[in-house]
A = this chain, B = another copy of it.
Amino acid sequence: MASAHEQFRDLAWKCGLAATHQRQIIYEAVTATPGHHSVEAVFAEVRGRTPSISLATVYKNLRLFVEHGLLREVSPHSSMLLVEGNLEPHHHLICTRCKAVQDLDAADFVNFKKLARRAPRGFDLSRPLVEVFGLCRRCSAKT
């Protein structure tokens, strides 16, 4: 069984990326726990292990990992960058008010055939992401 360290070096090598210490711990900070991670949260985490790391490095490498498919950007339209390590196709349920994001693992509520018919010619829906907006329980309780 390969260590997390070796696993990352292998992944990085496959993408032609240098396996630096900073990249190692940034990648681990995201993938060690499931769910959605903000840049600030990742930064706080990695700074614990390597205090000299800079926020720009975290931004740059999270974006790099997303580009190379090692991580996934949670919402491509979001006002703040969120990433996750779960690369399985899944969708999101988002609160309009507080912007909290949670996973919708089943996709059976979308008819992708009909959807494709509604999209304009040439629109690529081969890897679709669906985001559904509503009000989370907490926010809808606040009237």
Please list the residues of chain A having a beta carbon within 8 angstroms of any beta carbon in chain B. Answer: 75-79, 93-94, 96, 99, 102, 104, 106, 108-112, 114-115, 118-137, 139-141
Asked if B137 contacts A122 (CB within 8 A), the reply is yes
Contacts of A111 in B (CB 8 A): 108-111
Rounded to whole angstroms, the CA-CA distance of A77 and B136 in the bound complex is 14
Contacts of A118 in B (CB 8 A): 93, 104, 106, 108-109
Sample (25) of A-B pairs whose CB atoms are under 8 Å apart: A75-B77, A76-B94, A76-B133, A77-B77, A77-B131, A93-B119, A93-B120, A93-B123, A106-B118, A108-B114, A108-B118, A109-B114, A109-B118, A110-B110, A121-B137, A122-B137, A123-B140, A124-B137, A125-B134, A126-B134, A127-B134, A128-B132, A130-B130, A130-B133, A131-B133
Contacts of A130 in B (CB 8 A): 130-133
Asked if A128 contacts B137 (CB within 8 A), the reply is no
Asked if B124 contacts A128 (CB within 8 A), the reply is no
Contacts of A140 in B (CB 8 A): 122-124
- Closest chain-B Cβ to A91's Cβ sits at a distance in Å of 9
Asked if B110 contacts A123 (CB within 8 A), the reply is no
Contacts of A106 in B (CB 8 A): 118
Contacts of A104 in B (CB 8 A): 118-119
- Closest chain-B Cβ to A46's Cβ sits at a distance in Å of 24
Most B CB contacts (10 A, CB to CB) among A124, A125, A132 go to A132
